[in-house]
Amino acid sequence: MGEEGMTSDVQQKAAKTSPKLTVLPLIALIFYEVSGGPFGVEDSVKAGGGPLLSLLGFLIFPLIWSIPEALITAELATSFPENGGYVIWISSAFGPFWGFQEGFWKWLSGVLDNALYPVLFLDYLKHSLPIFNLLIARIPALLGITGALTYLNYRGLHIVGFSAVSLLVFSLCPFVVMGILSIPRIKPRRWLVVDFKKVDWRGYFNSMFWNLNYWDKASTLAGEVENPSKTFPKALLGAVVLVVSSYLIPLLAGTGGLTSPSSEWSDGYFAEVGMLIGGFWLKWWIQAASAMSNLGLFEAEMSGDAFQLLGMSEMGMLPAIFASRSKYGTPTLSILCSATGVIFLSWMSFQEILEFLNFLYAIGMLLEFAAFIKLRIKKPDLHRPYKVPLQTFGVTMLCLLPAVLLVLVMCLASLRTFIVSGGVIIVGFLLYPVLVHAKDRKWTQFDIEQPTSPSDTRQESHSAVSEMYPGVDEASVSLLSDLSSTTQPDQEACVSENEELLKTE
């Protein structure tokens, strides 16, 4: 056996033996991919001209956006339990070209999102350590934080998952305490205050959208989840409840217990709320929790971005080197690419990053909704371990309101965002044929089949699935055959026996 074959065996063994994510770590990762706590929701009070629109937003937007996206993610992630997530969904529905575009847009959106967190981490520290206002200290600290968190991702997804659980508990505890301490001070009429003359609709919708999106991000880790057909729906449900509660409880406590004008509500104001309600000790606790929350957000986002690139490589969309795993089962080059993107994009302002990532994310989500509906129509017999309990008309209506919200967010974007996002789309259109040409000319190695089962077994299942789903492209057949094998215990036993025979040979 050659050195390349031995390396491949080691990587596949690492992928198989690395611990899988269970319900609690997956809830924590989804929580940090979507939220990370109430840090950053303060702007919704200011942009909404008072508490009323902010509170209504976090009550209504989850119903018309978060819950539909979580339901769709649960169905598709359990139907295609492979790393790559939404890239696989789009490829199955519309072909590999659009699957690649989806992956490119979502990966860049994720890297933009992740560029915020090391900067926000230092922004909280500089209130106590003013030296981080100076570039001579800020730049090394930024590089050091990014490097340390990247190494944690490299060491293993299970470590990231349990680290996220610890960070989640630490980040939310001060707000539970603040909510309890605020009860004697709360006056419900303060929640009804709104000044429509001060409402900034662009800022309001961007804040709502950013604080309630990325539910589909966890699907890029589907291949690393233990028993995804049961784990994903439970984790998504738990995460929805946790995210909405983590927003509403601090907002109800702060706006109901204080008379602060809406103009004072901006990033970091919850620390001042904690001081006014509980004292300096609560302010320091909230600041520390905020800093730790940004670390959790970074870890969850980088994991999703890296395993998305790994999944795209396993599908043959990216060179095989992107699927290479470390001895810890993590995609080494994919993690390094995501970290490099974070470093180069961290110079942008918060609002610039927010608009750009929201715009790219919205385009990708519109494509996901379309793929979800098309798969329901064109592939009604696709194995769906979890299925949204609605027929075709019902799921179309389920996607309608979120789609309207996406279009609204895109329409509110600035001209600069339209120009930059348009440039990103053009780059994606040009990059795909370049990669196809490189693959055809064999300039670099590409994977041509999924590594989850032996090639002989896969080819047999391909022919069976081709007969079941006439007209389906080869990439989709590959994915569907994987699903068929995972749902039949007898076939699983056969695959295991074949693997043992191959190892013996």
What lies within 8 Å, CB to CB, of 128 at 6+ separation is 287
Instruction: Quickly list DSSP for 459-485.
Output: HHHHHHHHHHSTT--HHHHHHHHHHHH
Per-position b or e across 420-442, b if 16+ CB within 10 A of its CB: bbeebeeebeeebeebbeebeee
DSSP calls for 166-228: HHHHHHHHHHHHHHHHHGGG--GGGGG---GGG--HHHHHHHHHHHT--GGGGGGGGGGBSSH
How do residues 222-265 score in pLDDT, each as one tens digit? 777 888 788 888 888 899 999 999 999 999 999 999 988 988 88
pLDDT digits (tens, 9 = 90+) for 148-166: 777 766 665 555 556 677 7
Q: Once rounded to an integer, what is the mean pLDDT over residues 345-372?
A: 83
Q: 15-19, 41-45, 162-166: which has the highest mean pLDDT?
A: 41-45
Q: How far apart are CA 245 and CA 34, in angstroms?
A: 13
pLDDT, average across residues 330-351 = 74
* Average pLDDT score over residue span 12-38: 72
- C-beta separation of 32 from 299 below 8 A: yes
Give the pLDDT confidence of 263-278 residue by residue, as tens digits.
888 877 888 899 999 9
- When pLDDT is averaged across residues 194-216 and rounded to a whole number, the result is 87
Find residue 446's DSSP bridge partners. 319
pLDDT tens for each residue of 170-201: 889 999 999 999 999 999 999 999 999 889 98
Domain extents in the chain: 3-376+387-423
| CA-to-CA separations, 463 to 117, 446, 484, in angstroms, rounded | 47, 23, 12
Answer whether residue 369 shows pLDDT above 90: yes
Q: Answer whether 474's CB lies under 8 Å from 481's CB.
A: no
Distance CA 71, CA 48 (A): 28
* pLDDT at position 286 over 60: yes
- Residue 324 confidence (pLDDT) above 90: no
> What topology does CATH give the domain 3-376+387-423?
Amino acid/polyamine transporter I (1.20.1740)
Among 286, 290, 328, CA closest to 306: 328
- pLDDT surpasses 90 at 375: yes
The tokens for 68 are 């539909």
Alpha carbon distance 181, 178 (integer Å): 5
Cα–Cα distance measured from residue 359 to residue 374, given in angstroms and rounded to the nearest whole number: 23
Nearest in space to 220 (alpha carbons), one of 314, 321, 152, 327: 314
Residue 12 reports pLDDT greater than 80? no
Instruction: Give the percent of the chain with pLDDT over 90.
Output: 27
Contact between 489 and 466 (Cβ < 8 Å): no
Pairwise CA distance, residues 432 & 319, whole Å: 12
User: End-to-end CA distance of the chain, in Å?
Assistant: 11
> In sequence order, what DSSP letters do the residues of 80-148 get, joined into one string?
S-STTTHHHHHHHHH-HHHHHHHHHHHHHHHHHHHTHHHHHHHHHHTTT-GGGGSHHHHHHHHHHHHHH
Instruction: Give tens-digit pLDDT for 435-484.
Output: 998 888 888 888 754 433 333 333 334 444 344 334 444 444 444 444 33
Mean model confidence pLDDT for the chain: 78
Strand partners, 225: 21
Confidence tier at 217 by pLDDT (50, 70, 90)? confident
User: Positive or negative CA dihedral for 220, 351, 67, 397?
Assistant: negative
Vertex 289: Cα angle to 134 and 30 (nearest 5): 110
For residue 396, CA distances in Å to 65, 215, 377, 392 come to 14, 19, 11, 6
Contact, 84 vs 226, CB < 8 A? no
Backbone angles phi, psi at 446, to 5 degrees: -120, 145
445: phi > 0 → left, psi -120 to 50 → alpha, else beta; which? beta
